[in-house]
Amino acid sequence: MKNKITNPKEIKVGVIGYGGAFNMGRAHLKEMEAAGMTPVAVAELDPQRLAVASQDYPGIQTYSKVTEMLKKSDVNLVTIITPHNTHAPPGPAMPQGRASCGL
């Protein structure tokens, strides 16, 4: 298989949605980090929540638009953690070679 990843650390992960009600964006980044993956990016509409993401993960790339994150970041895997009725648009927009998971 081409470009096979053998080390979890090589999997660059991000989240779409870093909401504050249940903090599920942070929870999922922490879980993926605990599994050995490398958090690299957060996409979130609310600038205040992006600031929280930067506090939680100093140096992480932050984006106000999913399209911008997918264009500029080299993230391999994203978890979509927005309200359930908003999952469909980001999912099909994932470029080839990247994976998404909606929760």
Ligand X SMILES: NC(=O)c1ccc[n+]([C@@H]2O[C@H](COP(=O)([O-])OP(=O)(O)OC[C@H]3O[C@@H](n4cnc5c(N)ncnc54)[C@H](O)[C@@H]3O)[C@@H](O)[C@H]2O)c1
Residues that bind ligand X (CB under 6 A): 16-17, 19-25, 43-46, 49, 66, 81-84, 86
Q: In this complex, which beta carbon is closest to ligand X, that of residue 5 or of residue 35? A: 35
Rounded least distance, CB 45 to ligand X, Å? 4
Rounded least distance, CB 15 to ligand X, Å? 9
Per-residue DSSP letter, 86: G
Q: In this complex, which beta carbon is closest to ligand X, that of residue 37 or of residue 69? A: 69
Rounded least distance, CB 70 to ligand X, Å? 11
CA distance 103 to 62: 20
Residue whose pair of structure tokens reads 């009725």 in the numeric block: 85
Q: In this complex, which beta carbon is closest to ligand X, that of residue 64 or of residue 74? A: 64
Rounded least distance, CB 47 to ligand X, Å? 10
Q: How many Å is the Cα radius of gyration of the chain? A: 13
CA distance 28 to 13: 10
Q: In this complex, which beta carbon is closest to ligand X, that of residue 5 or of residue 64? A: 64
